[in-house]
Amino acid sequence: MSNKKSFAKSQALFLKAQEHLVGGVNSPVRAFKSVGGTPLFFDRGQGAYVFDADDNRYIDYVGSWGPLILGHAHPKVIGDVTKTLNKGASFGAPCHLEIELAEMVKQAFPSMDLVRFVSSGTEAVMGAIRVARGYTQRNKILKFTGCYHGHTDSMLVQGGSGIMTLGIPGSKGVPDSFVKDTLVAPYNDVEAVRSIFNEFGNEIAAIIVEPIVGNMGCVLPENNFLQELRNITTQYNSLLIFDEVMTGFRSCFGGVQKDFGITPDITTLGKVIGGGMPVGAYGGRKDIMSMVAPLGPVYQAGTLSGNPVAMQAGISTLTELMKPDFYTNLLDNATQLEDGIKAIVADKGFTVNRYGSMITLFFTKTHVKDYDTAITSDTEAFAKFFWNMIENGIYIPPSQYESWFLSGALTKEDIKTTLAAINESINNN
């Protein structure tokens, strides 16, 4: 389907990078440990495509791990951000763009009465957990195996994402005392949650959950799981935190909570609301968020929080998402891709999970509903598949345990090309 690609420049760059950067990368999954070979170094992106240092072109299903829902270098976003940047990159002081983006976020997420912008999803989770503890005057947090909520110490317990890829159960450098108040249950297991609450309910400040998991691959809730979490937290006067850093805006203008009709107490966001720039946010009910300084005693701050460049990128991105046909076209392509993959792998029995414009092909015949079923995947087969896809001009995440992300820049022809590549890559495996 394609000529053998050269990766000579990426290989040379990786050798040089290892002299100066830890492992040659600035985030572990980028090291390609789980798929082998040399990491690709990228030079530019345009629309649905990325180009590596050797000028190989790929249809992109990583999209900077989700935020580039409009595709790369969207002309409206680039134009607006350039105008803003010409006025100054950061003030460390309020600007009107913070208000405008906050209004748009609240429009999408009515559960967020007050919003606090930060610079990453990890920061958003840190803030959400701190305010939950401050509000409830309790210390324990319940999370789920395989769910990743950033690299804050207390959340690096049985997380997903790069932790699964590298086979690290947690992280060295995190004292036991930092995670003693983090409780863990299997995703989709309501009875396990009830059992934990029966024992510790009066000590649990909050449940934090990726409502649709994206960090052990795309995994969906079953058997009314999210509503049961809402019921349990209400019963015990605990808070429910939806980590929508990954899922926010991936299916609709409003996230999983809109799709499922469930109102969390606090929501964390990131990625998409920055349009590719570093940004995050957390927000929720007014009485909860009023605990945050300067209104209350829960302290959190950030020099770059609400900086004008990130705010403008978010405003421009969300404006495009609000256009009438955006989600219709995006989800039509996602459905076409899902149906096509299922047809290709039907005789192999592999699992395909999708939520909105997030999708994962699991190399397992087991129905994937939690961490234990996700790790039945054949990661060696996935690694071969990954490099076959690279040779066929398709860039997917270099890990079995990550979601693919579609962008609005993809065309029907791109989907057909992708399916042809998947068919050849599966058959060559």
Question: Looking at the structure, do residues 232 and 253 belong to the same domain, yes or no?
Answer: yes
Tell me the per-residue pLDDT of 310-324, one tens digit each, with 9 for 90 and over: 999 999 999 999 999
The CATH number that applies at residue 51 is 3.90.1150.10
Q: Is the pLDDT of residue 45 over 80?
A: yes
Segment 207-226 mean pLDDT: 96
What is the Cα–Cα distance from 419 to 410, expressed in whole angstroms? 13
Segment 357-375 mean pLDDT: 97
Of 248, 168, 239, 178, give the one whose Cα is nearest residue 208. 239
Question: Looking at the structure, do residues 212 and 361 belong to the same domain, yes or no?
Answer: no
What is the Cα–Cα distance from 146 to 178, expressed in whole angstroms? 19
pLDDT for the residue numbered 65? 94
**Contact, 74 vs 408, CB < 8 A?**
no
- Extract the tokens encoding 40: 């690709």
pLDDT for the residue numbered 171? 59
Question: Looking at the structure, do residues 347 and 204 belong to the same domain, yes or no?
Answer: no
Question: Looking at the structure, do residues 120 and 194 belong to the same domain, yes or no?
Answer: yes
- Per-residue confidence band for 164, with pLDDT thresholds at 50, 70 and 90: very low
Question: Looking at the structure, do residues 30 and 84 belong to the same domain, yes or no?
Answer: no
Q: Is the pLDDT of residue 1 over 70?
A: no
Q: Is the pLDDT of residue 158 over 70?
A: no
Q: Is the pLDDT of residue 190 over 60?
A: yes
Which residue among 321, 347, 382 closes a domain? 321
Segment 258-274 mean pLDDT: 95
Alpha helices in 65-208 (DSSP H): 75-85, 96-108, 121-136, 162-166, 176-179, 190-200
Q: Is the pLDDT of residue 211 over 90?
A: yes
For residue 35, CA distances in Å to 19, 166, 277, 387 come to 22, 11, 28, 8
Tell me the per-residue pLDDT of 271-288, one tens digit each, with 9 for 90 and over: 899 988 999 999 999 999
The CATH number that applies at residue 276 is 3.40.640.10
What is the Cα–Cα distance from 57 to 53, expressed in whole angstroms? 10
Q: Is the pLDDT of residue 228 over 90?
A: yes
Segment 18-39 mean pLDDT: 91
Question: If DSSP codes are grouped into helix, strand and coil, which group holds residue 47?
Answer: strand
Question: Looking at the structure, do residues 400 and 260 belong to the same domain, yes or no?
Answer: no
* Residue 71 located in a structural domain: no
Amino acid letter, 230? R
Q: Is the pLDDT of residue 29 over 90?
A: no
For residue 162, CA distances in Å to 107, 158, 282 come to 33, 11, 23
* Residue 416 located in a structural domain: yes
- Per-residue confidence band for 41, with pLDDT thresholds at 50, 70 and 90: very high
User: What is the domain count for the chain?
Assistant: 2
Question: Looking at the structure, do residues 186 and 312 belong to the same domain, yes or no?
Answer: yes
* Residue 70 located in a structural domain: no
* Cα 62 from chain centroid (whole Å): 10
Tell me the per-residue pLDDT of 128-147, one tens digit each, with 9 for 90 and over: 999 999 999 999 999 999 99
φ and ψ at residue 76, rounded to 5 degrees = -70, -45
Hey, which residues does 142 pair with through a beta bridge?
183, 207
Q: Is the pLDDT of residue 50 over 50?
A: yes
What is the Cα–Cα distance from 239 to 333, expressed in whole angstroms? 36
Question: Looking at the structure, do residues 130 and 279 belong to the same domain, yes or no?
Answer: yes
Domain extent, residue 268, equals 77-321
Which sequence positions are flagged as catalytic? Answer: 148, 243, 271
- Which strand (E) or helix (H) includes residue 235? helix 225-235
- Extract the tokens encoding 4: 């053998």
- Complete DSSP assignment for 239-306: EEEEE-TTTTTSSSTTHHHHHHT---SEEEEEGGGGTTSS-EEEEE-HHHHTTBTTTSSB----TTTT
Q: Is the pLDDT of residue 268 over 90?
A: yes
Segment 404-428 mean pLDDT: 96
* Residue 72 located in a structural domain: no
* Residue 417 located in a structural domain: yes
Question: Looking at the structure, do residues 335 and 296 belong to the same domain, yes or no?
Answer: no
Q: Is the pLDDT of residue 159 over 80?
A: no
Question: If DSSP codes are grouped into helix, strand and coil, which group holds residue 35?
Answer: coil
Question: Looking at the structure, do residues 197 and 233 belong to the same domain, yes or no?
Answer: yes
Which residue among 301, 321, 341 closes a domain? 321
Beta-carbon contacts of residue 93 (< 8 Å; ≥ 6 apart) = none
Q: Is the pLDDT of residue 157 over 80?
A: no
Which residue among 321, 336, 366 closes a domain? 321
Share of the chain above pLDDT 90, in %: 87
* Residue 269 located in a structural domain: yes
First-to-last alpha carbon distance for the chain, in angstroms, is 15
Segment 390-399 mean pLDDT: 97
The rounded mean pLDDT for the chain is: 93
Question: Looking at the structure, do residues 88 and 175 belong to the same domain, yes or no?
Answer: yes
pTM (2 decimals)?
Answer: 0.93
Q: Is the pLDDT of residue 34 over 50?
A: yes
Q: Which long-range contacts (CB under 8 A, 24 or more apart) does 86-89 make?
A: 87/308, 88/308, 89/307, 89/308, 89/309
How many CB atoms are closer than 10 A to CB 204? 25
- Extract the tokens encoding 290: 């009023």
pLDDT for the residue numbered 404? 98
Share of the chain above pLDDT 70, in %: 93
What is the Cα–Cα distance from 216 to 147, expressed in whole angstroms? 7
Question: Looking at the structure, do residues 254 and 126 belong to the same domain, yes or no?
Answer: yes
- Per-residue confidence band for 165, with pLDDT thresholds at 50, 70 and 90: very low
